[in-house]
Amino acid sequence: MLLVISPQKNNYMHSSLSDLFVMKFSIEKSTFANGLQQVLSVVEQRAIMPILGNVLLECGGDRVNFTAVNLDISIHCSAKADVAADGKITLPAKKLGAIVRSLPGNAVHVELEGTRVKISSDRSNFQIMGLPADDFPKANGPDRSNGMTMKQSEMSKMLKSVSFAQSADDNRYILNGVYFCFEPGKLTFAATDGRRLSLSSKAIPENANSAKGVIVPSRAVREVERLLGQGDDVSFAFDGKQIVFSIAVKSDNRDGLTDDIKIISKTVEGNYPNFRQIIPQTTEARVKVDRQLMLECIQRVAIVASDQKNLVKLKFGSNCLEVSAESQEYGSANEKIAIVYDGRPVEIAFNYVFICDPLKVLPQDEVFFEFKDELSAGVFKTLEDFLYVVMPLRVG
């Protein structure tokens, strides 16, 4: 389990609430809202325990810390504030977010007495009931021995290039994530749903990591993708059960965030399949295509494709790629693209969604498509370390 929830002893008989819970700070509305925005996405709409529907606020020094958790993942960030009294409390996450967004003034004043929090800004005043911070689940991150650091822009590009290929089938939970695969001198992100495979790789030092790899669940991948781009570097470390991402924020950012944003998540337990076996060993043809042109062509033709099969045909002929689709419900469509190709005519049917997905996310305009015959997998490649394998559909 990611979270450890321990019952707390009731010491209220020995101390008054005002002694136990004291907190007072002022913060800019935009900074308050931004801090909440980083963490609220992991709060469950219908939490199994009331406190899991809350966000933890801790203030001290010159900052306020925000933490939100569920049973699988936690997110923590810090923001600048003017703190008059250190303290901590948990408040209903969604209600707090709505309140902060609605406040009329730029300055927000927060004061805790007992478990009741007063929030004021300009002419508005709220009093919100909270739950004790000591009852909030603790998220303990993994050992940092198996970890590395990379540029946020690089991780963002790599994750974006593969995450669309993750499985959403709960019966194949081992595929419900992105596999971080460490090999000598190489780190590869891999994702597959059994019908397609997407890989993105980068060179790393030979001794960068001795672990074989880790499966990062789709929920954590989605949160990391969302939060990347706020600074220069991102580091991650993992053990057999958890992974932690530390996403740096710019020291001079205008959003008021300080320190790193931390995401701690369970990992997917089990052995990822040998994805290298899926990659075709031989292909007979390699065609260079314009990514945007091919994407727009397939999307237009696919308008008339069957809603059940999503089938389009790619016919490679003399210096021409013809994309076609037809269905009894809607009719037919075809469009031709000029390519350099002098091989034998080959017509391959694909699920057009599986063809469009990589074309939507790749940053390169120059993409190569490799194929062998009508029944063999097609392969997209770029001049960088990206590879995408997609299985064809049988016609008839």
**Helix crossing, 93-102 with 29-39: angle to 10°?**
150
Question: Is there a contact between 53 and 94 (Cβ–Cβ < 8 Å)?
Answer: yes
Sequential pLDDT tens for the chain (396 residues): 454 433 343 433 333 444 445 899 999 999 999 999 999 999 988 878 889 999 999 999 999 999 999 989 999 999 999 999 999 999 999 999 999 999 999 999 999 988 899 999 999 999 999 999 999 998 777 776 667 999 999 999 999 999 999 999 988 999 999 999 998 889 999 999 999 999 999 998 876 665 689 999 999 999 999 999 988 999 999 988 999 999 999 877 678 899 899 999 999 999 999 999 999 998 999 999 999 999 999 999 999 999 888 999 999 999 999 999 999 999 999 999 999 999 999 999 999 999 999 999 998 899 999 999 999 999 999 998 999 999 999 886
Burial class, 141, CB count within 10 angstroms (exposed 0-12 / middle 13-18 / buried 19+):
buried
Q: How far apart are CA 142 and CA 262, in angstroms?
A: 12
**Structural domains in the chain?**
3-139 (3.10.150.10), 147-246+264-275 (3.10.150.10), 279-390 (3.10.150.10)
Residue corresponding to tokens 């498509």: 369
Q: Identify the CA nearest to 63 among candidates 90, 38, 85, 81.
A: 81
φ/ψ (deg, to 5) at 213: 165, 175
Residues 6+ apart with CB under 8 A from 29: 100, 103, 105, 106, 107, 108, 121
Q: At what angle do helices 152-162 and 218-227 cross, to 10 degrees?
A: 140
Query: What residues pair up with 247 in beta bridges, in sequence order?
Result: 234, 261
Distances in Å between the Cα of 234 and the Cα atoms of 114, 242, 277, 308, 351 are: 38, 17, 31, 41, 35
CA dihedral of residues 82, 88, 89, 90 (deg, nearest 10): 90
Range list of β-strands (E), 294-339:
311-317, 320-327, 331-338
| Cα–Cα dist 227/74, whole Å | 13
Q: What angle (nearest 5°) sits at the alpha carbon of residue 184, between those of residues 183 and 189? A: 30
Whole-prediction pTM value?
0.89
Residue type, 175: L
